[in-house]
Amino acid sequence: MSSAYRRSAAKVVTDSEDDQSDPRQRRDLRLTSKHATIKEDKLEDKKKKAVYQGPYHTIPIHTNTKASVLSKEAPPENYSGFIRLGMLVLGASNIRLIIENWMKYGLLIRLPHSYIPVQDYGLSFLAWLSVPFSLTVSYFVELGLARLASQAKDAKPDFLQKLEKINRVAAFTHLGHLVFLLSFPSYIVYNHIYHPLVGSGVLIICLITFLKLTSYALVNRELRHQYIQGHADDFYDDDVAYPNNVRIGNLLYFFFAPTLCYQPSYPRTESFRLTFFLKRVAELVVCMVMMYVLTEQYAKPTLANSLQALEDKNYVVIIERVLKLSTTAVVIWLLMFYALFHAFMNALSEVLCFGDRTFYLAWWNSGNLATYWRLWNRPVYLFFKRHVYLPSVRSGIPPYLGQLLVFFVSAVLHEFMVGIPTHSLNGLAFWGMLGQIPLIAITKPLEKWRGKGSALGNTIFWISFCVVGQPTIALLYYYQWASTHRDVEVDLPSL
């Protein structure tokens, strides 16, 4: 309902209204002309306003309908003060937890190697030997095929038929040493290496090498086929185009490069920046120290004090432990992400002058889980898209089945990476990964309904993945590992 005034009503711009309309946040009380419109309000910072000189007590104050600042209908507002308050409350809460932890347990931190058996180091080195073995086999197989391809460019059909048979033998050779690359270390880690950290380190290196050499073999196979057919690839210079790319230096550069997708050459930076490198190394060291302190001082006591509740199936205590562990787990996981995908990979890229450094995108704003998996680990995502999803779709498989295949392979690798070092292949990581599919089906419609980057979808992502998912999986695998090694498990103070 509009209100009428006998004399011309002047609009009063109060402090709060002035803050919304003028970025300079004027504090003086001013009056606008009676002919002011919405467009004039938007351009009022470009116009001079006359100060009202008449009586003040009869000035109409309430002249327009406006929503409260915190209402949905109100214009966007800056909430940095609330964010600052939240950070202060979070800091105070964490300080209280630090004091409480110190009062209960004292100092639990010891040197990292103090509870790792010496034999674990020797066995991990033995398992690691499969990495240079597979590198050597891959190189010499591709080198032999490259030389045969050079001869086959203008060869007779009989030679091409023989080359095709040799290609099949080479494919089985690649398959054999890649299977050995995963199976031999897995056997040693699962049956002989006690500590999960040592076993995980070995398997991570072997799995990365497995993915890299798979890409190396598949890419060179296509390049070799194009070379024999006479289809030149104009993307690469002649000195790195097939077969000139099959050199030991080229393979070693790819092995150390922060990517899983092979190509004969990569974008390179012009120079090495020492300051940038030292900053990333310092960040890496700080993150690793913080992760170790959080694990030893906070995560391990919570995990150890959860074993009895799991045995007794006391679900109330289990839920309390999961929520208590979630705070530490999220911080450790964020530190791991920053240490690996930002500090370590940028430091490594700087040493190698590797140019493309989009190792991650803004996954923290993900409105659904599908977006998260595309953004948070770009090297793995691009590997699966290039070597699993696109070939399957081009072969006639429907796109949704191609996505299901990617998640299935990823679920197998997650179980491989978690179950083998903890000596408990119980399928929790496998089904936890496949369980992302129904969550994606739930969060995708929510994002369409609420808009891209909606707070609701982002909240579901954080709760399902970080607050509940990761702590629960960590707790269950720790329980399995502790049950297997109960006779040698380190005793920790109980609550």
Active site residues: 414
Residues in the chain: 495
Q: Which residues pair with 119 in a beta bridge?
A: none
Secondary element (H or E) of residue 352: helix 345-352
Distance CA 360, CA 376 (A): 5
Identity of residue 256:
F
Which three-class secondary structure state does DSSP give residue 451? Answer: coil
**Cβ atoms 369, 464 nearer than 8 A:** yes
Collapsed DSSP state (helix, strand, coil) of residue 354: strand
- Pairwise CA distance, residues 50 & 47, whole Å: 10
Closest CA to 218 of 156, 164, 276, 261: 261
Alpha helices in 295-435 (DSSP H): 300-304, 307-312, 315-337, 345-352, 369-375, 378-384, 390-394, 399-419, 428-434
Residue of 175, 176, 199 whose CA lies nearest to 187? 199
Residue that has been written with the tokens 């109980």 in this structure: 494
Distances (CA, A) of 112 to 296, 306, 368, 449, 478: 9, 23, 37, 49, 18
Q: Six-digit token pair at 458?
A: 């982002």
- Residue labelled with tokens 């898209």: 385
Paired residues of 268 in beta bridges:
354
| Pairwise CA distance, residues 63 & 65, whole Å | 7
Cα separation of 359 and 347, whole Å? 12
